[in-house]
């Protein structure tokens, strides 16, 4: 039994979610200008669970939105995100890795 983590079981005692002994760590951070796209390849995330999040920074309007972030293999990519009345804004890109 671990001292941290989470195991969820259904009514029959079967494990439905097991993140026992796994914690997330910030693996990558980057600030990106509102109108640019880019990507980074991180070899150490191969085969590991990650979460990528973008936060709009320097926001002056409720219509500002952060970049869209995606992952393919070991490459994390981001691109400006604008639609309708929303406006792309500078973003802080964060990638968390579960270890």
Q: Which of 15, 18, 12, 38 is nearest to 98 (CA)?
A: 18
Rg (CA), the chain: 17
pLDDT in tens, 32-90: 998 899 999 999 999 998 989 999 898 888 888 889 999 999 999 999 887 776 777 89
Buried b (16+ CB within 10 A) or exposed e, 19-36: eeeeeeeebeeeebebee
The model's pTM: 0.73
The DSSP element (H or E) to which 32 belongs, if any, is strand 24-32
Range of the domain at 73: 22-98
Number of domains in the chain: 1
Residue 59 covered by a domain: yes
Residue 6 covered by a domain: no
77 CB-contact burial (10 Å; exposed 0-12 / middle 13-18 / buried 19+): middle
Residue 26 covered by a domain: yes
Residue 15 covered by a domain: no
Residue 31 covered by a domain: yes
């Amino acid at each position: 039994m671990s001292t941290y983590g989470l195991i969820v079981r259904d009514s029959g005692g079967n494990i439905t979610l097991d993140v026992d002994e796994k914690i997330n760590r910030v693996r990558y951070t980057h600030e990106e200008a509102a109108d640019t796209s880019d990507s980074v390849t991180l070899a150490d995330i191969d085969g590991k669970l990650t979460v990528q999040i973008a936060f709009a920074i320097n926001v002056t309007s409720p219509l500002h939105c952060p970049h869209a972030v995606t992952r393919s293999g070991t490459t994390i990519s981001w691109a400006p995100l604008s639609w309708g009345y929303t406006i792309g804004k500078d973003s802080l890109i964060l990638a968390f890795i579960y270890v």
